[in-house]
Each structure stands twice: as C-alpha cells, then as structure tokens.
Structure 1
Amino acid sequence: MKIKFLGGAGTVTGSKTLIESNGVRILIDCGQFQGIKPLRELNWEPLPILPSTIDYVLLTHGHLDHCGWLPRLVNQGFEGKIYCTSPTAAIAKLILLDSAKIQEEEAERANKEHFSKHEKAEPLYNVDQAEKVFPLFRVVKQNDEVTLDAEISARFFNAGHIIGACSIALKLENKTLVFSGDIGRDDDVLMYAPVKPKKADYIFLESTYGNRIHPIEDVKLLLETYINNTFHNNGTIIIPSFAVERAQTIMYLLWQLKKENRIPDIPYIIDTPMGISVLDIFMNNKKWHKLSEEECVQMCRMFTMNSDYQETIATIYDKQSKVVIAASGMITGGRVLSYLERYISLPETTVIIVGYQAEGTRGRKLLEGATDIKIYGKYYQVLAKIQEIEGLSAHGDQKDLINWLSELENKPEKVFLVHGENQPADELRIKIQEKFGFDCCVPLIGQEFEL
C-alpha cells in the first residue's frame, strides 16, 4: 500500500491524500490551495498521476480547501464516485459554484482593469466545470460501512467542525487508516463534539492549531464590546466570515446578545448568498447541530439578508452604523472585499477576525499589522481597528487534537500530521510522542510512504 501527500502537507490548504492498494486509487479530499502565491500556483499544476486513474474520492467536509479542486480533477478526466455525507454534498455544491463565480468575475475584472500579469486572466475553473462534479456525488450516512471495492470499505463518523464534517475510517489490506479531516471543538456553540476513534493502524491527523491553546475568553462579551465601541464612534463593524458554520455561529451569538439588550438596535446584515443558502441546509439537517427549527427561524428574523449585489452596494453606501457579516473568511475574495475597499481606511471602522487565517492571506496580513492591503490591484491604507476573537475558531486546539487520540484501544503504527504549517505540526508531533509514545511524522508535499 502506498500513501502520497499531494496537498495539505506543510500547509493548511489544498488537502489531497492519495492511497494506492492492489490497483485501486483513492483520494481523501481534493482541496484548493490558498494563501501565498507559490501555493496558489499549485492549483494550476497537474497531479503527478492521471485523474482518470483515480477510482474514488472521499470528502471529509465541504470547505474549499478540502473540495475546491474537484472541478479541475473532473475536467482532467476523473470519472469515479465522490463519497460524502448529505450536508457535505449540499455545501460542496454551494462552495464550488460560489468559487467558480468569483473566479470568473475576478478574471473578467482583471482583464477589464488590466491588473493581471497574464496576457489574458483565466478562472481556475468556471461554473459549467463546477456543475460537472455534482452527478458524481454519492451520499453516505454517518457510521454506515460503505463498500468501495473488494475488501475495501469506509466509515464516516462525526468530526464536529462544520455541518456534515466527518472523519473517515478506511479499511483495506487488513489495516485501518483513519483520516481526521478537520476536527471541531468539544464545546462548540452549534456543532456536537467530535467522535474519537477507537482503533487505527495509521492516523492522518490535522494540525492547524497544533501549537496553540485557544484562550478562555467570553466571546459574547468581546462581540458586545467591539460593537458598542464602534457604534459610539459612528462606525461600521465588518466581520469577514466563512459562509459555512462560522456565519451561522456569529448570527446565533448576535441574536443572543440582542435578546439580552446588550447590543444596539442597528442593522445586522448577512452579505453572503452562500451563507444564506447554508441556513436552509441547517434547517434540513437538524440532527447535525444543536439549533432547533424555532431557534433558526427566530435568529434569522434579526438579520437583513443581502442576496443581490445591488443590495450590497446600497449597504456599502449607507452611512449609518451597522454590523456586516460577509464572506470570505480569510478575505481572499467575495463581497467582503467590496466593503473593505470603502471601509478599511476609515479609523471608525472595526474589522473582527473570527477564524484561522492562512499564510499569505489578507486576513493574516491584517492580523500581523499590515499598514496597507491590496484589493483588485489597488492599495488601501489600513486605518480601521483590527480585532481578533480566537474563541470562535471551528478547529480544535492542541488540547482538543491530543484528546481526540485519547480513546484509541491500540497503538497506531504511525501518526501523520497533516493540514498544518510546519511549526504547529512539529510542536504537535512532540506533544503526541511525549504523551502517548506514538511514532509521528510531518510529511512534505509530494512525499510518498509504503505502509
């Protein structure tokens, strides 16, 4: 059996792990690279194997860094089955369509305004190519054993993180390989705690926050403070947010604060069409989260939901104080850029960062104190207040990741630490070896192992 790391190694994006066994090829996740340019350029490179030779893709969840390269895979010849849970299939469809539209729009804008270095800017994939992925989805239920091939089966079990997210136990050649996907937190506001594996011969564990412990902070108090301070300065609050789960978590917390009369009576706006669509997925998949239908309905009543871009323009030029939740979460694209073009240079603005920011993203640059940021080829001075709330992360921290290993009934032959930058992954490796004595490895992109 061979394992090859085609992405999500040494970085938190581009997750792709290839397994080859007795002539069968399985790809765990098929994510898009984000962040620094050398990583983004990898999205344009062909895989080291022909996509037509891959038999199955197993998706842990629907975030872009786990499913966003599927249109390229299909366009280059993949015709196999893509297994995932029902919410993951629904979310992946939304995210792929949204990604394709953004790429088409940005390529068109780059060509019109001549800020691309290429003679003609092209999208990584278009809407038609994204839609060709959808017929290949095969929905699986939590904890059901799914037979992929002779003597190869997979079981999906809850990982927390976002709605539909699962870890995957893959059985083949009398071995059990467990792929964590992204692990959520034990005390998440909306998601249930991740299920811990009981048996694994090889583990592929995410390490996004492998060197961090989330601070114990009162998230509602921080939101209340930032919103009220900005309101008293006649400013606008912009919350760049992942459209899936994070936007809904922030909505829930703001709804709670409003019910408690702790934040002002100003417009609260969701400006992410995908985030609005995800609310329907929440309503249709109640077993996957803690909210009741009535809570979903009441929460949504508090917010103005912008679907049409003309509504976005009207909101941007509305001078009153407001709270805007807009995608994308790492400020790599989407409608949040339109807001920041107007508001990032106003000192009365507050930008609240509420999720992981990959290396090279605008969000990471803002957290690191950038004095200007580039949007659509132009530089804007950063005069807005940049605040971070770490307590809203949907990723488990170092303690959560170590705890996820705590119920194993056997000692795995090896633990591969993936989906993390090198330093966090290496610090997690040391902690796991000290606590459990497991053999740990931090693989590099392109590295291959025989098991």
Structure 2
Amino acid sequence: MTVALTFHGGAGTVTGSKYLVETADSRVLVDCGLFQGLTALRRRNWAPLAPALAELDAVVITHAHLDHCGYLPVLVRAGWHGPVYATPGTAELVPIVLEDSAHLMTEDAAHANKYGWSKHHPALPLYDAADAKKAIGLLRKLDFETETEIAAGVTLDFGRAGHILGSSWAHLRSNARDVVFSGDLGRPGHSLLRPPSPRPPCDALVMESTYGARLHHDEGAMDRFGEVIRRTARRGGSVLIPAFAVDRTEVVLAALAKLRSSHAIPDLPVYVDSPMALAALKVYRDALRSKWPEIRPEAAGHDPLTPRSLTELRTVEESMRVNAPRMPSIIISASGMATGGRVLHHLEHMLPDHRHTVLIVGYAAAGTRARQLASGARQIKIHGRYVTVRADVVQLDAFSAHADADELVAWATAGPQPGSTYLVHGEPDAAEVVAERLRNEYDWQAVVPHEHERVLI
C-alpha cells in the first residue's frame, strides 16, 4: 500500500511548514506553522482551511518556533481536537510561543483599529488567547527515541535536531514505508545543545534548506561581536538585538557573559525585553540545572546565561523606559525578524539616531523588517509610518541556530541514501542549491517540491 505526502507549506519558502502524510487509514500532519514575511505569504494564514487538514488523526510538531507550530490554534478554531505530539522540551515551549502569538495578534489588531493603519475595518486577530489555550491542551509529550503508534498503522519516534531546546527530527513509519522529516537542523557547535543525532534509513527524506546557499563564517565572530559593542558604546550609543525569544536570546546571553568575563566588552546594562523570551529563558535554565539529555555536558549543571548587569523587563512601562537609553546599553528584544513585538517600538526610537547599532543575529526571511535592514534599507515602515534608518546595521550570522549548506549535506549523507529527498523550508534558490549538490555529488534523487504538490512514497 502506498503512502502519500503533500506539501501544504514550507515549499518554496522558509515559513509555514505543514507536511501531510496520508495512508489508507490515517492522516498525520508534520508541523503546523504560520507563514511569515511577505504579505502574499502572510495572507495564506487567512485562507480557508484545506479540507484534508480538517480531518487529521494527529499532528506532530518538530519544535516550538512559530513557523512550525503557530497555525495550531487555527486548526482548533476550525473544530479540530487533537492530539498533538511533541518532545518534552517542545511541549514546554509551545505554550509560551502560542500564548505570546495570540497576545500580539490581539494587541496588533487593537492598535490598528485605534490608529487606523490596517486596510481591514475592523482589524481582527487570526486567533485569540482562547484558541491558543485549546491548542495547548492537545499537546502530548513523547520522549526522544521512543517509538509510539500515533494513528492507525502509523508510528513516530523523535531524534535530536540540536536547533533549539526540544527540537527534533521526526521518523514516521507506515505500511513498510519510512519518512524522516528533519525539522530545523541545528549546528554541531551550538553553545548549549548537543548536535543533531544521526537519522535512520528511510524511503523519503524531507529536509530543510534555510541556509542551503550559504556557509556560516564563525572565525572571529566573538571578536566582531565585541567590537560592535565597543564601537557603539564609544560613540554613546546602544546596541539593539532583535532576537528570537526561544534559543537565540539564550545564545546571545551566553556570548555576552563570556565577553564580559574576559573583559572584552565594558560592563554595560543588558536588558532582555520580551515576556516570551523571559519565559523561555526560565525553561532553558531549568534544563541546564536539571541536565536534560540534549544539553551539552559542559553547559549542564550551572547557569551560563546571566551576564553581569542583566535586567529582565517584564512590564510595558519598563520596556518604554529603555526606548531612549540614558547610557550605552544592550537591548535584546523579540521578534527576531522584527515582524512584531516590543522590538518595533525600540526600532522606532533608535533607528533615526546614528549613535545606535541594530545587530541582526539570525535568519531574516524575505519581506521582514530584519531582511530590509540587513539589505541596506534607508527607511522602513513600522505601525503605518516610515522610519528613517540612520543607525548602524550589522549582520552576524554566526549566531544562527540553523545548519549551513555543508552541515545540511553532511547530516543527510551520513545515513543511507533515501529513495527520494525533498528540500523544503528554504527560499527557492537555497533549496535548489542543496538539491543540486545531492544530485551531482551523491547521485541522489533530490527534488524541490511545489506548494500543494502531492507525491507517493
């Protein structure tokens, strides 16, 4: 009997990951992410639910980033009622992510209605806190390397992906067919997490390609990070770091703690300004203290995430006070791609001032403000108004939690050759680069699928 695979998201784009596995008896969706970035992509979140997604037997979440779990409340709003399988770490983080997402959507809609910058009257959130709460109630924890039947004739087991805490690759087996979904793969040199574990043999491999056309340049990255901070402080400015609330904030804090302990940077105030990031930081600290198996042994048992002069900003009033810092400071605020959240208010105040620096430390999808800034934009639109960019903008991709082109290929080819490999979760050029390498260097059948394409395994 055949197994069918349909790409409902994450095909030809970095966001909206949704991969449907169908057998004669079951339908399982691997990842359930929001589309982000370009307006045309974000509009897909509002499209009517695909009929096949209304009749799922289970959802599998590889990790807790919005582009992999943020669509779950939409399923719930449409009447779906679970279950959702995730690793213990992912099950701890998904509630934080979904609650924050619902809050921001509701807040943005209210702001748009108050100031009239939306085309929609009234502007409405895609989902609200009640939808998020229902989705969170569907989560079921599944340990790594524990094979479990999750639907009629379909088993699942997770392996470490090393991307963020709890991140996994997912191995689905049905009708003597094996499919492995990489999720987002981390890097062997992650400062806190162990590297991705090897994948099992499979008939089909569905692999991300976010950095498929790029290599990370780690040499001297900490020196460059330190120099950006020193240079900005010398001119009386502050460093604003838009950072993903889950994992990137932790990695940046660990780097700052190392730089400060070696006296490579001055003892500046460090602010973490994101309720979501602070909630995730607590989960990471618990994992480090409890020595979770995915934590690197050298990082376990202590707290490497607290540089001197760290202040955690929890209220809106505290956040507003650092919009115009009285002295050189370091502000870490979500979201990482500057698509929403408190970082937008900091950008509004800091971008017009040449003394400040905006430091981009992660992947920035097309159509996001972070991509515009990294590409040299001299003005960007925030809350319906254009803001002039006079601040220095620096990009350091060494802090990325995504495997680069060589690391992706190395992970894939360390296991037996699959029958077919599908390159997803990447912009078209990046996905095609990895596909060509696998075809030309390893004689693999490697394909970049189209949105809604259906293939048989």
TM-score bracket, normalised by the shorter chain, equals over 0.9
Task: Identify the residue that residue 310 of structure 1 maps to in structure 2.
Answer: 317
Identity across the alignment (%)? 37
Q: What is the correspondence of 1:258-407 to structure 2 with a 5 Å cutoff?
A: 258-285=260-287, 286-287=291-292, 288-290=294-296, 291-296=299-304, 299=306, 302-407=309-414
1:412 aligned to 2:421? no
2:347 partner SS: helix
Q: What is the correspondence of 1:9-408 to structure 2 with a 5 Å cutoff?
A: 9-285=11-287, 286-287=291-292, 288-290=294-296, 291-296=299-304, 299=306, 302-408=309-415
Structure 1 counterpart of 2:368, which letter? Answer: T
Structure 2 counterpart of 1:345, which letter? Answer: P
Q: Distance in 1 between matches of 2:339 and 2:201?
A: 38
Task: Give deviations 1:278-302, integer Å, cap 9, x for gaps.
Answer: 1221133232223234224x72664
2:387 partner SS: strand
Q: Distance in 1 between matches of 2:169 and 2:118?
A: 39
Q: Which runs of 4+ in 1 moved over 4 A?
A: none
Deviation at 1:175, TM superposition (A): 1.1
Task: Identify the residue that residue 437 of structure 1 maps to in structure 2.
Answer: 443
2:51 partner SS: coil
| 1:423 aligned residue (420, 425, 429) | 429
Query: Greater CA deviation, 301-310 or 164-173?
Result: 301-310
Q: Distance in 1 between matches of 2:4 and 2:302?
A: 49
Asked whether the 8 Å contact 2:256–2:307 carries over to 1, the reply is no
Deviation at 1:407, TM superposition (A): 2.4
Q: Distance in 1 between matches of 2:153 and 2:114?
A: 54
Q: Distance in 2 between matches of 1:124 and 1:381?
A: 30
Deviation at 1:179, TM superposition (A): 0.2
Task: Identify the residue that residue 449 of structure 1 maps to in structure 2.
Answer: 455
Q: Distance in 2 between matches of 1:210 and 1:352?
A: 23
Deviation at 1:132, TM superposition (A): 0.7
1:283 partner SS: helix
Change (3 A) 1:216 1:134: closer
Change (3 A) 1:108 1:150: closer
Task: Give deviations 1:328-369, integer Å, cap 9, x for gaps.
Answer: 000000111010110001001100000000010000011111
Query: Greater CA deviation, 286-295 or 73-82?
Result: 286-295
Task: Give deviations 1:75-99, integer Å, cap 9, x for gaps.
Answer: 1121121000111011111011111
Asked whether the 8 Å contact 2:260–2:308 carries over to 1, the reply is no
Q: Distance in 2 between matches of 1:51 and 1:214?
A: 37
Q: Distance in 2 between matches of 1:425 and 1:100?
A: 31
Task: Give deviations 1:39-79, integer Å, cap 9, x for gaps.
Answer: 00000012321544111000000000000000001111211
CA RMSD of superposed structures (Å)? 1.2
Deviation at 1:135, TM superposition (A): 1.4
2:373 partner SS: helix
Structure 2 counterpart of 1:92, which letter? Answer: V
Asked whether the 8 Å contact 2:28–2:151 carries over to 1, the reply is no
Structure 1 counterpart of 2:300, which letter? Answer: S
Q: Distance in 1 between matches of 2:142 and 2:450?
A: 31
**TM-score normalised by structure 2 residue count:** 0.96
Task: Give deviations 1:206-235, integer Å, cap 9, x for gaps.
Answer: 010111111133222111100000000000
1:34 partner SS: coil
Task: Give deviations 1:392-416, integer Å, cap 9, x for gaps.
Answer: 110001100000123223x311000
- Structure 2: 5+ residue runs without aligned partners? none
Deviation at 1:23, TM superposition (A): 2.7
Asked whether the 8 Å contact 1:267–1:303 carries over to 2, the reply is yes
Q: Distance in 1 between matches of 2:16 and 2:453?
A: 15
1:118 partner SS: coil
Q: Distance in 2 between matches of 1:311 and 1:14?
A: 33
Q: Distance in 1 between matches of 2:206 and 2:332?
A: 33
Q: Distance in 1 between matches of 2:9 and 2:410?
A: 25
Deviation at 1:150, TM superposition (A): 3.8
Asked whether the 8 Å contact 1:283–1:293 carries over to 2, the reply is no
Change (3 A) 1:73 1:150: closer
- Structure 1: 5+ residue runs without aligned partners? none
Structure 2 counterpart of 1:436, which letter? Answer: Y
